[in-house]
Amino acid sequence: MFSPISKFGCNIMENLKENIEDSRLTQPIYSFEEGAVLFNEDEKDLRKTLLGGKGANLAEMTDMNISVPPGFIITTEVCDLYLRNGKFPEGFEDQVKTYMALLETQMNREFGNSKNPLLVSVRSGAKASMPGMMETILNLGLNDKTVEAIVKQTKNRWFAYDIYCRFIQMFIDVVMGIDRSNFETALEVLKAKRQVSRDADLNAKDLETLAKRYKQIIEKRAKQPFPEDSWQQLYSAIEAVFKSWNSPKAKAYREIKKIRGLKGTAVNIQAMVFGNMSELDSGTGVVFTRNPNTGESKPFGNFLLNAQGEDIVSGTRDAEPINKLEEAMKDIHGQLMTILAQLDEHFKDMQDVEFTIEKRKLFILQTRDGKRTAYAALKIATDLVKEKRLSKEEVLLKLDPTQLDHLLHKRIDPNAPKQIIAKGLGASPGGACGKAVFSSEKAEEWAKKGEKVLLFRPETVTDDIRGMEASQGILTSRGGLGAHAALVSRDRGKPCIVGCSALEFDWKNMKAFITEGDKVHEINEGDYLTIDGSTGEVMLGQVPMLDPELPEDFYTIMEWADEIRKLRVRVNTETPEGCKKALDLGAEGIGLARTEHMLLDPKKLSIFRRVILAQSKEEKSRALEDFLKIQREDIKEIISIMSGYPVLVRLLDPPLHEFLPKEEDKIQALASEMGMDVESLKKNIEGLREANPMLGHRGCRLGITHPEIYEAQVKAILEAAIEVSENGKDPRPEIEVPLVGDVNELLEMRCLIEKVIESYKDRIKFDYKIGTMIELPSACLTADELAPHADFFSFGTNDLTQTSLGVSRDDYKKFIDKYLEKEIFENDPFAVLDKKSVGKLMKIAVEDGRAVKPNLEVGICGEHGGDPESIELCHSLGLDYVSCSPFRVPGARLAAAQAVIREKGLSIQGKV
Amino acid sequence: MFSPISKFGCNIMENLKENIEDSRLTQPIYSFEEGAVLFNEDEKDLRKTLLGGKGANLAEMTDMNISVPPGFIITTEVCDLYLRNGKFPEGFEDQVKTYMALLETQMNREFGNSKNPLLVSVRSGAKASMPGMMETILNLGLNDKTVEAIVKQTKNRWFAYDIYCRFIQMFIDVVMGIDRSNFETALEVLKAKRQVSRDADLNAKDLETLAKRYKQIIEKRAKQPFPEDSWQQLYSAIEAVFKSWNSPKAKAYREIKKIRGLKGTAVNIQAMVFGNMSELDSGTGVVFTRNPNTGESKPFGNFLLNAQGEDIVSGTRDAEPINKLEEAMKDIHGQLMTILAQLDEHFKDMQDVEFTIEKRKLFILQTRDGKRTAYAALKIATDLVKEKRLSKEEVLLKLDPTQLDHLLHKRIDPNAPKQIIAKGLGASPGGACGKAVFSSEKAEEWAKKGEKVLLFRPETVTDDIRGMEASQGILTSRGGLGAHAALVSRDRGKPCIVGCSALEFDWKNMKAFITEGDKVHEINEGDYLTIDGSTGEVMLGQVPMLDPELPEDFYTIMEWADEIRKLRVRVNTETPEGCKKALDLGAEGIGLARTEHMLLDPKKLSIFRRVILAQSKEEKSRALEDFLKIQREDIKEIISIMSGYPVLVRLLDPPLHEFLPKEEDKIQALASEMGMDVESLKKNIEGLREANPMLGHRGCRLGITHPEIYEAQVKAILEAAIEVSENGKDPRPEIEVPLVGDVNELLEMRCLIEKVIESYKDRIKFDYKIGTMIELPSACLTADELAPHADFFSFGTNDLTQTSLGVSRDDYKKFIDKYLEKEIFENDPFAVLDKKSVGKLMKIAVEDGRAVKPNLEVGICGEHGGDPESIELCHSLGLDYVSCSPFRVPGARLAAAQAVIREKGLSIQGKV
């Protein structure tokens, strides 16, 4: 018999699901009207969860009496059930039919009817915006019979067969999974035959032939005919959209954008309206209610006459700027401007609006909070407060802290000599320099090897997302400011130039050519180039860059954040440049200066190697003296720059073998440098080798077995601070003991430090602190014992994560992708603090430490200190400060403010 | 100015000291009489803490009116203060003078008086017995004047100068730190001159000359004269005894015997009595009240006429068995027997008693609980209960669980062919086999390399303790059953032979020779020999051994322990032999069967390597089938043997690279075996390499990325259990998922397991469980999430210690010695569970897990499960069972009982 204990089946996930009480959670389909009336003002988040962002906004617009083609939404819950069970829930098709019947009534057309057919669009729409990542099918409902009905109704055979061809193309690509390229050849052949270059120049008869040809190819490739039945088309399309939730590109996008905890996409089914009815009175466009590049409070966008939406989004046709619409259709332009103002007002943020004009009637197809550059985000935020639309707290909450570092990107030095060889459209600002690569795969591959690359492409598509992410910047020969490359780059803060028509590719020989007047520059993969995403200039070689200047709005926002935040923000750095940069960006001290990083310079490293390898007492003490000197000079410089601010200096942390070479040739070189014989040096290195260096002989364990090293470092810190203080500045050194796990270690090290201090007593006229890194579970669990002997705690969350989860950061790449894919880990634990375990240990440490010493200063160093989600955790734990790399300081200040605002219970729709 | 936060100086330890309220803690000196009356019956432990074991018992004996030479005791507190401050406390010398005055009155002699001098012994005596580890000085008070007074008083110039020589020797060695060997030459020269072989054959004049010569050597070596002033002698001797607390050998002894938390040694100052006054009416001896080898209830020991105590202890003179004393001095023998009975009765345990007869007057110099073999310990324990001296609980508490495994030592197979080449005294039972080494240093060195060694020495001294510990067994050419080698070996359960006079050493050529009749066997270091510590036989080569037979008392004690204990005891094994052995020793199931250990056999390893390296799906699935088969057969065997008992099988835990070779030649061999080219195999191996394998791609992380491996293993377990059950036996498999740190991992793996179970559903007619190892801090901290999905938790305390403390067991040897020496760690955390951190995490896991699932079964595997102190912790945490290696099972049963007894508040003087 089965063990009674073993009562869990594989439906564990099912069992875990909370009981559903709210009937809205089980309603599978909502009409736009239902979507508007069934949710209250304070249930907008629930609505978005169920209906997706697009669906929710369509419902809201319907409610606002804005002209939206009618339709309905299939919820994300249905998607979730579909993806888990591989089939629609019981009775789902009937419910679709009910809502289609409603739509038929509203449109006075019948789905699949060969006289008066209803055509629909089937579009994805998750809670979080994932532009271009999932599938869309337009013109659904067409078949050999209904297309003829459209011909009759519109009296426009060209139009009817244009949308039929488009529909077949989309359907075979999205639903049948047959690569589009199979069909493009047919199109190209036909265009060549007709000696035309634009698709639009083919005549109606050509398009009819093309539709037939497409369907023949399908039968051959897919071994099944194209479905003529409209209902079959519809259900297949819904399934395809559901499945596209888990497509590799969609998953990659969610991973990069840290979109988590969503169940799937909603599906929007909407009556078709047509922007491609004629060149005269039809068209389509995408407009932002404000300028997404600058934030200027003026609509910005493009439109195309006689086009469907995809023509704009794909950037395959150069669109006109929106103000030109006034010339073409003044009345429609006026209506559009009114609606844009209405939407901007209603959604209290810049909207990204898609519209279609069908025979001089304006339809709004969707609206959403628009993606914007960091510059624009700040401008819009301050404007929204000036316009009294939102409070300071509300706009702070809308800003993305991780986007702020885009502002800090370097720009091309205007005074540097440069050879400009081409110019395109500056699509995303900032300078970028790197080795040219001609594919996303290569971009990823080379970036993994540590190369800086620039991605050169004719244009980018959604599959290029990882390659773009891996590149310093992007250059495309085609596309406009609304093209994929432009949108993505802007969002990710990557410098980007599009539409650089001087650029051509020779794929056979993997070369590119840039034509400059009568000169042709040959570009090979690996050649250095520089691009300026602000001016659109392409330059040969590596052009020097300058640090960016920050806009006034940045300082306004930072000021608001500083008024609110409670956490102080320090910086992790050990260089003078890092210190200066950090002070500029508002850092309030150094949270981590790693003494071992000061040894990266080969000369300094050589001195420290002499400490490690000294053969006699005399040699050792001479080496230690030199070591003291170089450490003192480095520390003096940063303490001096940071005058008035605390400077936390960590005593040596890594195991000694990390300072010695592993490669045969380097060992030989070192041996001759040190005057040692190779064999004994090898023996020395071998003796230091460790199976698990992360858990090895490092941190204070070195301090205990090699007290002379820590002694020299403490002397260096004190002598540095003394000199700085005697020069009239205000040093505030903090001496940190790493890897403490037992109070006896801290006692031993504190004793060593205090003894050194005693010997400098008369010259110490400044405050100092002695504290410990908290980076082991044992340190957290014995915080009450440690606190009496530590002036401060500083969480080393990298190591604390490694030990708490038992995961080596050097090795976890082997399984982390699988873990994130299967959602075993919600986040990469080295990017976002693990709350369940690491957070719990931190809580214990803070509470137990402060119970013994209420004024204990507690901070966090390690890069978690720059991650907004982790900062929120730190705030809630009552930490005094976070510390992160210089460029993340502004984001940390903002995130710290957001934590306070969120704690007050304020939440806001749509984080931008 | 100094930071106010930095208020801790280096006297932190001082500050930590508890406030002393009991004035007895500050009283620096106690006379024997005070030691008796100032403590109540229930304050015996406090008395021992302050006065040491020797002092406390001298006080008790004084109180019992047993003839003890009068004296007083300097407390361990004074030692502690002395060691920390480097000097005696304020006013200490005056207090010594006061007590010396008392002694002078009692003895009617005056210290340093040149007519009627008082002589004293100065002896160490810590709370825990550390025989021979610290210093003793006899005959103190002698100088060129007082020695002449002794001559006059005793009319025995020989005696007076004998004790003077002895005193000078001890003083220069112990107090002045000059090696004794400097003086032995002088003695040898003199003996050669006089043509005598025994020291005792020198005449009085010779001894007088010798004393002078000694003092000349001192002046030359120490550049200062031998102190003639008795008080200076006394204070220096006290200091020397204090300092000997921290001598390397004393520290090594405490480390090995896990003697911890003591502050120092007490010093016993006692009037001298002399066993070396004559051959007729004086003597000295050491007697046990029972037999320490067998436990037989009959005094056992040796004595020497005309000797001082050191002659017995050092084993330099062959002593007579104690019954011979009856012939020499019948009355004294009678008195001694009466006192022995009295002491055995009073201290409720076998006593180890030192006595001296001075001119037919018997003095007892010390008594203590005697060291004994495990056999004797059991016999004495059951006898004490039979004699109604102690309760079952009390004797159980007195036994040392770690000593029980001595009983399990192998013995020489009586039927095996063997070449016996010599015979000595069997001093500690059991057979041992290994490579001969001739020094303790070499024994340690070779043992570290994994060699089994036998230590061959003329005799052993206290400095040899580490070398003995590292050896399988010990053979000495000299010494009797009371010699150092015999005592230590017996205590440590090492087979030992002493007094093997056929053994001689040639130190120049580092050879040994054993004379057998007219044959001489040449022995070189590295030659295999076998010894039988029971019979005293020395054999050439490696002689086969048999498992031991257990004495009846063992079963009695185990029965008593089983009646009391609450923890069940399981075994860690995956071999049929291990299972059988463990069942014999009382194991109640398998707590850990490591599937990877089943792959140690080269053929099986090769199959698993095929799984790892398979190049195609077909190859992989064939390899997996073979893998399943070998695992099933191995598991079937152990499940069958363990019928009726739970068998916990752990799914694959180590990272895959551990199964592949690292050395060039082995890689080449493997490549040809696998039919792979060497380069691609190397690439494969390189790809699996990890920086920190302990925190790498292992445990359930493998299960998640390579589900096919776990699937095969689960099938193997189920098929094995099904076969066993269909053969009419009672399988109780438990499937364990290792390295779980997140509930999602457990869900994923449980799902995999349940799916396999589903496919065997119809044939599963037995109970099974699915559970998880708890070996990461994150697992402990999320136990409430894990518990609903685990039928059991099993603490993997090795890994939990590694991660909680951030200490790699493979690497910690580099600093652990320093840590133990400086008492930064109280224990080796891989031997004894760390309570502060690991224990706290375990507590959280048990409490949070049981809060959700009250009947959750919780156990511990990993070798902490066999450590008594750790077992006590497990009991207090409410665990269901502990699991350890087969030989530690009896000790675990006893320790589990002790935990219950101690919990009831019962404590007992002197753990044996």
**pLDDT tens by residue, B217-243:** 888 888 888 999 999 999 999 999 999
| pLDDT in the model for residue B200 | 73
| pLDDT in the model for residue A770 | 98
Give the residue numbers of B annotated as catalytic, written as ranges.
484, 861
The pLDDT-based confidence of B891 (bands split at 50, 70, 90) is: very high
What would the pLDDT profile of A854-864 be if each residue is shown by its tens digit? 999 999 997 79
| pLDDT in the model for residue A6 | 33
pLDDT at B649 over 70: yes
The pLDDT-based confidence of A887 (bands split at 50, 70, 90) is: confident
Chain A: give the shortest CA distance to residue B439, in Å.
25
Neighbours of A833 (CB within 10 A): 27
Collapsing DSSP to helix, strand or coil, A794 comes out as strand
Q: Does A783 touch chain B if contact means CB atoms closer than 8 Å? A: no
What would the pLDDT profile of B431-445 be if each residue is shown by its tens digit? 999 999 999 999 999
Q: Does A841 touch chain B if contact means CB atoms closer than 8 Å? A: yes
Q: What is the DSSP letter of A18?
A: P
Mutation target to probe the B interface, by most B beta carbons within 10 A, among A84, A736, A775, A815 is: A815
For CA atoms B255, B257, B261, B264, give the dihedral sign.
negative
The pLDDT-based confidence of A18 (bands split at 50, 70, 90) is: very low
| pLDDT in the model for residue B315 | 56
Each residue of B119-148: b (16+ CB within 10 Å) or e?
Answer: bbbbbbbbbbbbebbbbbbbbbbbbeebbb
Residue A190 to residue A167: CA distance in whole angstroms: 18
First to last CA, chain B: 56
- For residues A5-11, average pLDDT: 38
| pLDDT in the model for residue A199 | 74
Nearest CA in chain A to B770: A6
Nearest CA in chain A to B706: A815
What the block records as the tokens of A130 is 């994932």
Interfacial B residues in 184-213 facing A (CB < 8 Å): none
Chain B: give the shortest CA distance to residue A744, in Å.
5
Angle at A825 between CA A824 and CA A826, to 5 degrees: 115
Residue A392 to residue A564: CA distance in whole angstroms: 10
| pLDDT in the model for residue A182 | 74
Residue A704 to residue A242: CA distance in whole angstroms: 60
| pLDDT in the model for residue B474 | 95
CB A736 within 8 A of CB A649: yes
The pLDDT-based confidence of B481 (bands split at 50, 70, 90) is: low
Enumerate helices (H) and strands (E) in chain B, giving the number of each.
35, 33
CB-CB under 8 Å, A806 with B778 = yes
User: Parallel, antiparallel, or unpaired: how do β-strands A769-774 and A792-796 relate?
Assistant: parallel
CB-CB under 8 Å, A811 with B690 = yes
Each residue of B725-742: b (16+ CB within 10 Å) or e?
Answer: beeebebbbbbbbbbbbb
CB-CB under 8 Å, A767 with B806 = no
The pLDDT-based confidence of B613 (bands split at 50, 70, 90) is: very high
| pLDDT in the model for residue B5 | 33
CB B859 within 8 A of CB B845: no
pLDDT at A108 over 60: yes
Q: Does B824 touch chain A if contact means CB atoms closer than 8 Å? A: yes
Q: What is the DSSP letter of B768?
A: -
Residue B406 to residue B404: CA distance in whole angstroms: 5
What the block records as the tokens of A79 is 């998607």
Using CB atoms, pick whichever of B768, B805, B840 lies closest to residue A3: B768
Q: Among all chains, which residue has been given the structure tokens 């920050």?
A: A550
Per annotation, catalytic residue among A500, A861, A874, A884? A861
Collapsing DSSP to helix, strand or coil, B528 comes out as strand
CB-CB under 8 Å, A777 with B806 = yes
Q: Does B799 touch chain A if contact means CB atoms closer than 8 Å? A: yes
What Cα–Cα distance (Å) separates residue A296 from each residue in A289, A292, A335, A387? Answer: 9, 8, 21, 13
Percent of chain A with pLDDT over 70: 96
pLDDT at A185 over 90: no
CB B861 within 8 A of CB B798: no
Question: Is A861 marked active-site?
Answer: yes
CB-CB under 8 Å, A744 with B836 = no
Residue A626 to residue A609: CA distance in whole angstroms: 11
User: Parallel, antiparallel, or unpaired: how do β-strands A519-524 and A511-516 relate?
Assistant: antiparallel
Residue A367 to residue A353: CA distance in whole angstroms: 4
Using CB atoms, pick whichever of B693, B775, B805 lies closest to residue A692: B693
- For residues A95-102, average pLDDT: 96
CA neighbor of A545 nearest in space, from A415, A354, A363, A701: A415
| pLDDT in the model for residue A324 | 93
**What one-letter code names the amino acid at B252?**
A
- For residues B379-404, average pLDDT: 94
The pLDDT-based confidence of A16 (bands split at 50, 70, 90) is: very low
Using CB atoms, pick whichever of B744, B791, B805 lies closest to residue A776: B805
| pLDDT in the model for residue A31 | 96
Residues of A in contact with B701 (CB under 8 A): 815
pLDDT at A7 over 70: no
Residue A711 to residue A713: CA distance in whole angstroms: 5
Per annotation, catalytic residue among A333, A406, A409, A484? A484
Percent of chain B with pLDDT over 70: 96
Q: Does A811 touch chain B if contact means CB atoms closer than 8 Å? A: yes
CA atoms within 13 A on the CB side of B407: 28
CB A207 within 8 A of CB A165: yes
Q: Which helix (H) or strand (E) holds B737?
A: strand B732-737
What would the pLDDT profile of B747-802 be if each residue is shown by its tens digit? 999 999 999 999 999 999 999 999 999 999 999 999 999 999 999 999 999 999 99
CB A447 within 8 A of CB A471: yes
Residues of A in contact with B739 (CB under 8 A): 806
| pLDDT in the model for residue A911 | 43
Between A893-902, B119-128, B738-747, B817-826, the lowest mean confidence (pLDDT) is in: B817-826
The pLDDT-based confidence of B16 (bands split at 50, 70, 90) is: very low
Using CB atoms, pick whichever of A6, A692, A804 lies closest to residue B692: A692
Residue A643 to residue B227: CA distance in whole angstroms: 62
pLDDT at A534 over 90: no
Q: How many residue pairs bridge chain A and chain B with CB atoms within 8 Å of each other?
A: 238
Q: Does B789 touch chain A if contact means CB atoms closer than 8 Å? A: yes
- For residues A334-362, average pLDDT: 95
Collapsing DSSP to helix, strand or coil, B102 comes out as helix
Using CB atoms, pick whichever of B747, B789, B811 lies closest to residue A695: B811
- For residues A699-708, average pLDDT: 97
CB-CB under 8 Å, A840 with B781 = yes
Q: Among all chains, which residue has been given the structure tokens 């309760």?
A: B391
Q: Does A663 touch chain B if contact means CB atoms closer than 8 Å? A: no
Each residue of A223-239: b (16+ CB within 10 Å) or e?
Answer: eeebbeebeebbbbbbb
- For residues B556-577, average pLDDT: 96
Q: Say which residues have a Cβ less than 8 Å from residue B146's Cβ, sequence separation at least 6.
A: B112, B113, B114, B117, B119, B230
Mutation target to probe the A interface, by most A beta carbons within 10 A, among B811, B812, B821, B830 is: B811
Each residue of B458-485: b (16+ CB within 10 Å) or e?
Answer: ebbebebbbbbbbbbbbbbbbbbbbbbb
Residue A261 to residue A823: CA distance in whole angstroms: 9
| pLDDT in the model for residue B81 | 94
CB B88 within 8 A of CB B78: yes
Q: Higher-confidence residue: A313 or A119?
A: A119
Residue A500 to residue A458: CA distance in whole angstroms: 9
Q: What is the DSSP letter of A836?
A: I
pLDDT at A215 over 50: yes
| pLDDT in the model for residue A19 | 45
Chain B: give the shortest CA distance to residue A763, in Å.
9
Using CB atoms, pick whichever of A764, A806, A811 lies closest to residue B691: A811
Residues of B in contact with A5 (CB under 8 A): 767, 769, 791
What would the pLDDT profile of A603-619 be if each residue is shown by its tens digit? 999 999 999 999 899 99
| pLDDT in the model for residue B662 | 86
Residue B366 to residue B388: CA distance in whole angstroms: 26
What would the pLDDT profile of A420-473 be if each residue is shown by its tens digit? 999 888 788 789 999 999 999 999 999 988 899 999 999 887 678 889 989 999
CA neighbor of B744 nearest in space, from A818, A80, A253: A818
| pLDDT in the model for residue B17 | 40
Residue B816 to residue B821: CA distance in whole angstroms: 8
pLDDT at B909 over 70: no
Interfacial A residues in 16-75 facing B (CB < 8 Å): none
- For residues A405-414, average pLDDT: 79
Mean pLDDT for chain A overall: 90
pLDDT at A3 over 60: no
Backbone angles phi, psi at B118, to 5 degrees: -95, 130
Angle at A599 between CA A595 and CA A601, to 5 degrees: 145
Collapsing DSSP to helix, strand or coil, B245 comes out as coil
Backbone angles phi, psi at A594, to 5 degrees: -90, 115
Strand order in the sheet with A320-321: A320-321, A300-305, A283-288, A351-358, A361-369
Listing DSSP states for A579-644 in one string gives HHHHHHTT--SEEEEETTGGG-SHHHHHHHHHHHH--SHHHHHHHHHHHHHHHHHHHHHHHHHTTT
CA neighbor of A287 nearest in space, from A350, A227, A231, A232: A350
- For residues A131-158, average pLDDT: 92
Q: Does B504 touch chain A if contact means CB atoms closer than 8 Å? A: no
Mean pLDDT for chain B overall: 90
CB-CB under 8 Å, A815 with B704 = yes
